[in-house]
Structure 1
Amino acid sequence: MNHGDDDRTATRGGPGSGGTDGAPLITGGGLVKSYGATAALRGASVELRPGEIVAVTGASGSGKSTLLHCLSGIVRPDGGSVTYAGERLEQASEERLSELRRTDFGVVFQFGQLIPELTALDNVALPLMLAGATRAGARETAGTWLERFGVGEQGDLRPGEMSGGQSQRAALARALVTGPKAVFADEPTGALDSLAAEQVMTSLVRTAREAGTAVLLVTHDARVAAYADREVQLRDGTVAPLGVTA
């Protein structure tokens, strides 16, 4: 692992490592967030550049998921700023934030959160239909994306009929089908065995590299973090020097 000029992060050449040049796509500055009396973030700052894969690591309760939620507009920080392509997201309307999550941002959670009543094909097609595509066109595109993630043959299955790894790859296809500028993945392999986790991460990294999509990856698994270009370690809601544990 090679330490950069800033000791808060380290740059690594993970599998399929890509470039990280250019101005930041998303910047979180001095983020503060509390839930009742519990402080989840205490001034955390992080940048995500176009095409960059950043792993956010740290112990349970260190603020990893809260950081992702703030950067993706799912929750508003109590203090600090979130800037996306020059737009201040903490000041944006809920309608605007919802629009960004439909078009510019893709979000993947630990258990995929596919709609259980829909087939994998219709789950992936849904964001396209919400954006105005016809059902037939959306399903055709969704099928292509399921194939890219190696689950094309499972398109007619509902989430309960698929394995965990298959469901998670379908969830990744759904997150990427609209061509987002950034994908936020919150413990996407946390519920998977080692083989399924490797398949999911390989699919995510390959597709993100091909599309030039930035990825913010929250994980507690060092093997998953190794796929990233750079690691940001949180400790008690702040960005800590790598190697310092809670």
Structure 2
Amino acid sequence: MNSPLLQGRSVVRSYGATPALRGVTLDLAEGEIVAITGPSGCGKSTLLHCLAGILRPDTGEVLYRDQRVDLLSESARAVLRRTEFGVLFQFGQLVAELTAAENVALPLLLAGTGRRAARTTALGWLDRLGVADQADTVPGEMSGGQQQRCAMARAMVTEPRVLFADEPTGALDSLAGEQILTHLVRLAREQQTAVVLITHEPRVAGYADREITLRDGAIDPAGLGQAATLATRP
């Protein structure tokens, strides 16, 4: 039996005296989309940050392909996020001074890809997400939905094995949100990319293969199982 692609083992994380995660254990299989749900302040984003190597857990383990992510140096974890992981935040966090194409090309340039090849690849991803016409536009001149599509292209341009999506539709209206989710699921299936999807919205969780609910920093046993299937889900 194959090992899980990504594992969290008894992950504990506190902010000062305030506990955020209280021993969370979960597995993520290759190509699987898992929604992490729960009320605000339950530890969803902290769990994502620990799994993605942005934060180190206080105790416990995070493993990617059986390698201890939590034991890697900060620079090694940053390289992992540029190569094997992709991160999509709620507000996109595009670089304001760069065009859409430059934003999407940035991870490739940081990895050593030549400028011309990086731009060509970036334009291809913008086209796949239906925003090729925004290639030379800066974020401030795009709609929220267009910005988030560009941010998704940037997160996927290195063809990561795991995509971490933290409330990716939280700042969008319902139509733009549905479009983002449809693109996210389609691209994940095409690339066989596993997805950790953080959300507090049941309709968003419905796009996942499986849903895990956090309450007060721990997994709620009643929240384990299959996410509901939406009529609009690809």
Could you tell me the TM-score, scaled by structure 2's length?
0.94
Q: What residue is the counterpart of 1:209 in the other structure?
A: 189
Summarize the alignment of residues 113-152 of structure 1 with structure 2, pairs less than 5 Å apart: 113-152=93-132
Higher RCO, 1 vs 2 (CA within 8 Å, ≥6 residues apart): 1
Structure 1 residues without counterparts, runs of 5 or longer: 1-20
Contact 2:3 2:65 in 1 (8 A): no
Q: What residue is the counterpart of 1:6 in the other structure?
A: none
Tell me the distance in 1 between the aligned counterparts of 2:82 and 2:216: 31
Runs of 4+ in structure 1 over 3 Å off: none
CA root-mean-square deviation: 1.2
Tell me the distance in 2 between the aligned counterparts of 1:235 and 1:91: 27
Q: What residue is the counterpart of 1:8 in the other structure?
A: none
Within the alignment, does 1:62 sit opposite 2:42 as a pair? yes
Summarize the alignment of residues 12-51 of structure 1 with structure 2, pairs less than 5 Å apart: 22-51=2-31
What CA deviation, in whole Å up to 9, does each residue of 1:24-56 have, x standing for no partner? 100001110000111000001111111000000
Number of residue pairs matched by the alignment: 224
Deviation at 1:243, TM superposition (A): 4.9
Contact 2:212 2:223 in 1 (8 A): no
Tell me the distance in 2 between the aligned counterparts of 1:243 and 1:89: 27
Letter of the 1:91 partner, please give it: L
Identity of aligned residues (%): 62
Q: What residue is the counterpart of 1:224 in the other structure?
A: 204
Tell me the distance in 1 between the aligned counterparts of 2:203 and 2:135: 29
User: Equivalent of 1:93, from 40, 60, 73?
Assistant: 73
Q: Secondary structure at the match of 2:130?
A: coil
Letter of the 2:63 partner, please give it: T
Between 129-138 and 224-233, report the one with greater CA deviation: 129-138
Could you tell me the TM-score, scaled by structure 1's length?
0.89
Tell me the distance in 2 between the aligned counterparts of 1:242 and 1:162: 41
